[in-house]
Amino acid sequence: MSVEFIGFIGTQHASEIHPPSGPAIDVSYVEKTARVHEEGGFDRALVAFHSTGPESQLVVAHAASVTKTLNFMIAHRPGFTQPTLAARQLATLDHFTGGRVAVHIITGGSDEELAKDGDHLTKDERYARTSEYLDIVRAEWTGDKPFDYAGQYYKVDQGFGAVKPLQAPHIPIYFGGSSDAAIPVAGKHADIYALWGETQAQVRETIARVRAAAAKHGRQVRFSLSLRPVIADTEEAAWKRADDIVAQAKALREAAGLPTTGHRPPNAGSQRLLDAAAQGSRLDKRLWTGVAGVTGAQGNSTGLVGTPEQVAESLLDYYDLGVSTFLIRGFDPVEDAIAYGRDLIPLVRQQVAERDLRLARAAS
């Protein structure tokens, strides 16, 4: 199976070790980061969504205007735009980008963050609403005649989208969420299910759960894994850098009055990362949980540490479990993206191609 690499485009220079600097939307930074990912051979770049941040579709529209081949993954939260309108917005953008967009459905795990946008549903209610939302989006994208829809959260009379996505049969749907409420929705709707960087045992378990949920609908799902690789010329230097990153992240949080131990976000994805971190800061071959432990695993916060060859080997371990997409971003966002494109991505692609060729020969 082919392998896909996704990077990350922020709207300003920031990470767990860099306090946000510059305006909330630094146009030149967005343009520079988009071009770095395109030149580095990334397939896509994620643009995130947050209740206090810039609007992801508009950021992607601009990033697409300064690139030619880079595809994009638009983080999108159901519930704040009517699904019929969202379907037409995304389909329109798909045309203007030449079929370069995918949507990443993030239902949201923090009640406090959701409340900032006026959403006060429970987590289970939000996932039920997401399922209806995607029912309608897919109907707009693929239907050739008007449709009616009557659900608990949405009622549509004679809905129809005159604009269909440029991509067939529709824009790819990535999906995140690890709770018991999320997995059935993923099984019904996800084209690619996105995990954070968990242990191999955790990934194996989740893949099995999602595949079982998808099988109930006669579907197959691909899988994505999000990681923060820390690479250097030697293993010793890579672990030294990882230790420095933990120290910097801790100092930055302490300076901001934020906790560095004992905090546990309510979302299942973060809790699973913290469960892994409780086992130690170095797991499997080279899974690193240091920053997850300091930040409360607020987001994609685990990594792989080592030389490019060692990290590539660990990525292939996940590939063998069924992961075909890797979302990789660094703690020094631009510099790390350049290093991944130069030192890591070509190596993994080469090794995947060689492995697939050996398997094909063995099967013939």
pLDDT tens-digit readout, 290-348: 999 999 888 899 999 999 999 999 999 999 999 999 999 999 999 999 999 999 999 99
pLDDT tens for 50-70 read 989 999 999 999 999 999 999
How many whole angstroms separate alpha carbon 177 and alpha carbon 182? 5
pLDDT, residue 137, reads: 98
Does residue 266 carry a pLDDT above 80? Answer: no
Does residue 263 carry a pLDDT above 80? Answer: no
Q: Which amino acid belongs to residue 65? A: S
Q: Name the band, by pLDDT with cuts 50, 70 and 90, for residue 261.
A: confident
pLDDT, residue 363, reads: 86
Segment 252-260 shows an average pLDDT of: 93
In terms of Cα–Cα distance, which of 92, 15, 20 is closest to 61? 92
Q: Name the band, by pLDDT with cuts 50, 70 and 90, for residue 214.
A: very high
How many whole angstroms separate alpha carbon 211 and alpha carbon 214? 5
pLDDT, residue 113, reads: 84
Q: Which amino acid belongs to residue 22? A: G
pLDDT, residue 267, reads: 78
Does residue 46 carry a pLDDT above 90? Answer: yes
Q: Name the band, by pLDDT with cuts 50, 70 and 90, for residue 108.
A: confident
| Average of per-residue pLDDT values in the chain | 95
Angstrom CA distances, 265 to 19, 104, 272, stand at 21, 21, 10
- For residue 217, give both structure tokens: 């609908």
How many whole angstroms separate alpha carbon 271 and alpha carbon 288? 16
> Which distant-in-sequence residues (6+ apart) come within 8 Å of 294 by Cβ?
16, 246, 249, 250, 253, 260, 261
How many whole angstroms separate alpha carbon 321 and alpha carbon 203? 8
Segment 87-108 shows an average pLDDT of: 97
Residue that is written with structure tokens 């009055």 in the block:
257
Q: Name the band, by pLDDT with cuts 50, 70 and 90, for residue 83.
A: very high
Percent of the chain whose predicted confidence (pLDDT) is above 90: 84
Inter-axis angle of helices 83-96 and 56-65, nearest 10: 10
pLDDT, residue 159, reads: 97
Does residue 195 carry a pLDDT above 90? Answer: yes
Looking only at the bridges linking them, the beta strands covering 287-288 and 44-47 are: unpaired
How many whole angstroms separate alpha carbon 264 and alpha carbon 256? 18
Q: Name the band, by pLDDT with cuts 50, 70 and 90, for residue 141.
A: very high
Q: Name the band, by pLDDT with cuts 50, 70 and 90, for residue 236.
A: very high
pLDDT, residue 337, reads: 98
> Which distant-in-sequence residues (6+ apart) come within 8 Å of 63 by Cβ?
9, 30, 31, 33, 34, 45, 47, 70, 72
pLDDT, residue 278, reads: 86
The pair phi, psi for residue 285, each rounded to 5°, is -70, -45
pLDDT, residue 298, reads: 82
Q: Evaluate whether 307 touches 314 at the Cβ level (below 8 Å).
A: no
Q: Which amino acid belongs to residue 147? A: F
